[in-house]
Chains A and B, each alone.
Chain A
Amino acid sequence: ILNVEQSPQSLHVQEGDSTNFTCSFPSSNFYALHWYRWETAKSPEALFVMTLNGDEKKKGRLSATLNSKEGYSYLYIKGSQPEDSATYLCATGGTSYGKLTFGQGTILTVHP
């Protein structure tokens, strides 16, 4: 089983703060890195999927980078809003094509 680690486990920020999370994963046999946002009582929702080393993706105030050679990805949130409060999950495959292993997530709370 792949070891996918996310840090920090939880984070409290004030509205307007910018923040970032880390996802670390084994760099061997890498084929894709996913980021998902998961709000309480809802289903996970895709944010980004990155496949190439050096990939950078952006969606509104959120952006993500990938360093697949060294096995890490960052998710950035610029100017956090209370509606950004959620659990942010990363996932990667590697041991076999189609298999996907999730990290335990970073719980973000944005205080007004």
Chain B
Amino acid sequence: EAQVTQNPRYLITVTGKKLTVTCSQNMNHEYMSWYRQDPGLGLRQIYYSMNVEVTDKGDVPEGYKVSRKEKRNFPLILESPSPNQTSLYFCASSLSAFGNEQYFGPGTRLTVT
């Protein structure tokens, strides 16, 4: 089954404790992207990747890192999480950046205390 998976689905952590949210797709998509969703602010793009080893900042990249060493995986790294990073995170992928629909993962609910 074609899908985007994220892990963990739920995470409660403390300020400053490094964490990684994994994202994997099995559709051989070139393009992958991370978003956060906050009430009243909609979906905002954090980072995106056009292909392996090619990543770029979205609209809200501060406090996040990403890497794209393999085509299928695009982990989101929070080196020193802070409470303002409490949010619902979505990973998405598409065949390419141009004119292709994105497939979203199930979301990761992160709480930083």
Contact = CB atoms under 8 A, between A and B. Distances in A.
Nearest to A6: B42
B10 to A, nearest CB: 13
B44 A43 contact: no
Nearest to A49: B101
A83 B107 CA distance: 22
Interface residues on B, range: 20 to 34
A66 to B, nearest CB: 12
Nearest to A50: B99
Given A43-B104, A43-B105, A43-B106, A105 B42 contact: yes
B90 interface: yes
A36 B106 CA distance: 15
Nearest to B41: A104
B43 A102 contact: yes
A103 interface: yes
Contacts of A1: 59
Contacts of A36: 102
A89 interface: yes
Interface residues of A, number: 25
Contact of A101 (B59, B97, B103, B106): B59
Interface of B: 31, 33, 35, 40-45, 48, 50, 56, 58-59, 90, 92, 97-107
30 contacts: A31-B98, A32-B99, A36-B102, A43-B90, A43-B104, A43-B107, A44-B43, A45-B104, A46-B103, A48-B101, A49-B100, A49-B101, A51-B98, A89-B43, A91-B43, A93-B97, A97-B50, A97-B97, A98-B48, A98-B50, A99-B48, A99-B58, A100-B33, A100-B58, A100-B102, A101-B45, A102-B35, A102-B43, A103-B42, A104-B42
Given A44-B102, A102-B35, A102-B43, 7 more contacts: A45-B104, A46-B101, A91-B43, A96-B56, A98-B48, A100-B45, A100-B102
